[in-house]
Structure 1
């Protein structure tokens, strides 16, 4: 894929509070992650740093989408919404994702809700987990493919979800699993890469989400305290961002 890499970020939600004040939209969070990933690829792989051309689309409120001939990759962000619901904007997003899957040039990246939307578009079960919420920094056991793609033996990554992809589509390679989620990432060479976790999140962002959901009664005291006890732990977000860049560069 030629430089600059033209990446369209489909914003499937917007941040809250301090995070919104700092970043505006989730597209800016992913821009920061991908730039850090490009830096890491250049430093670690000894290659010229790829230039990035990142555009953002609010698919919830405006339902405007990029033209596929003008982009090289589509990234679907996380969201507070349920990936299995049938709201008109969600159905439109699933249909658009299917269009991307039906061609072979533009590549797909999915994060959390975006990971689940890709699973839904590939006709596997996406629903509420029977194991409850998975929050804050969580260890993920990587497959051999996951280790190779992310360049690490063990992964820790921020999580904020209770919906999951239940099974892997037949056409993808498995990237890893956690205690509460069997499908932590999917990969198909030069086609798609997804993660259930949030590589773009930081301790500050997740702390604010934990506080907000605790205040609203979504998280009880025990879940809130458990999440806060792990929120400052090391996480491998930039390694995931670098894997996204390598994925876009692979032949």
Structure 2
């Protein structure tokens, strides 16, 4: 499934445009999809808002591919990325440490893109964050406690995070929806040659549940474990889906998380930061 969307604004419609390929690794709840579209469409509109708020404004263009082949998706070929310099991988109910054929195929594609397109920029949300860290040699596993990080959550920022998000605050708030986590950030030695020995891998934030809330590699990778584009309805439906299939067994925890679904979060701040990364404005955060 291939979809393409272009959005610019301004009096003359001639804004600089950030183009990205969005790999959709799951489908939203059908009610969410009828209301807001696919995960790729939701992210497109979220980044379009960030583009309009950027100074000066930026247009956003997304090429979206649903890649879960076992559910009717199609895995792109390396040649499909010839004119692509920015790639974003969505969240998913699948395990990023899983061996589903489509996940292994996606990892193989990402490895080829990493090697053959050394200037391509990579971003990922939740599953996408974990999968990119797996690509670079990190272990992905369930949290030691077995608990989920759900709903409106506090993420502590270090100095790297503050610079990336251009804030003086020590914390941001985002919606979480995961049990798995990245055990440790990737390193050059873990990357099987994908990272040069001098590469600096930065972790930009942490929470009590998850020590690696996102990684940043200059001119290469910027990920987030938390979701930047979830709204109240999406949080409620995503929790409901996981309870129904038995992924979330602690219903009290689920109910408590659902009660936070309407709280304001910093998704706009995160979208603006990833957009700057894709636009080449954060070539260095030193």
Match of 2:76 among 61, 64, 73: 64
Q: Tell me, in whole angstroms, the C-alpha distance in 1 between the residues paired with 2:144 and 2:39.
A: 28
Aligned length: 245
The structure 1 residue matched to 2:238, chosen from 209, 213, 220, is 209
The residue number in structure 1 matching 2:121 is: 107
Q: Any idea what SS the aligned residue of 1:70 has?
A: coil
168, 177, 193: which one aligns with 2:185: 168
Structure 1 residues 184-213: Cα deviation after superposition (integer angstroms, max 9, x where no partner): 010011111000000011111001122333
1:62-103 Cα deviation digits (max 9, x unpaired) = 223562221120100000001111111101111122223323
Indicate the structure whose relative CO is greater, using CA pairs within 8 Å and at least 6 residues apart.
1
Q: Report what 1:123 is aligned to.
A: 137
Instruction: Provide the rounded CA distance (Å) in 2 between the counterparts of 1:24 and 1:50.
Output: 22
Larger mean CA deviation between 214-223 and 125-134 belongs to: 214-223
Structure 1: unaligned runs, 5 residues or longer: 43-47
Higher helix proportion, which one?
1
Which is higher, the Rg of structure 1 or of structure 2? 2
Residue 199 (1) aligns with residue 228 (2): yes
Structure 1 segments (4+ residues) deviating >4 Å: none
Q: Deviations over 1:39-61 (max 9, x none)?
A: 2322xxxxx21222111001112
- Residues 1:139 and 1:203: Cα distance change in structure 2 (over 3 Å): same
Asked whether the equivalents of residues 59 and 65 of structure 1 are also in contact (C-alpha less than 8 Å), the reply is no
- Secondary structure of 2:54 counterpart: helix
- CA distance 1:145–1:98, shift in 2 (3 Å): same
User: TM (normalized to structure 2)?
Assistant: 0.81
> Shift in Å at residue 177 of structure 1?
0.3
Write the distance in 1 (CA, Å) between the matches of 2:149 and 2:243: 14
Partner of 2:279: 249
RMSD of the alignment, in Å?
1.7
SS in 2 for 1:155: strand
Alignment of 1:225-240 (within 5 A): 225-240=255-270
Instruction: Pick which of 236-245 and 168-177 moved more.
Output: 168-177
Measure the CA separation in 2 of the matches of 1:11 and 1:165. 20
Question: 2:174–2:226: 8 Å Cα contact kept in structure 1?
Answer: yes
Counterpart residue number, 2:10: none
- In 2, distance between residues paired with 1:109 and 1:216? 28
Structure 2 residues without counterparts, runs of 5 or longer: 1-14, 188-199
Q: Matched residues in 2 for 1:223 and 1:194: separation?
A: 26
Q: Conserved in 1, the CA contact under 8 Å of 2:26 and 2:92?
A: yes
**TM-score, length basis structure 1:** 0.92
**Matching residue of 2:61:** 53
Residue of structure 1 aligned with 2:148, choices 93, 112, 133: 133
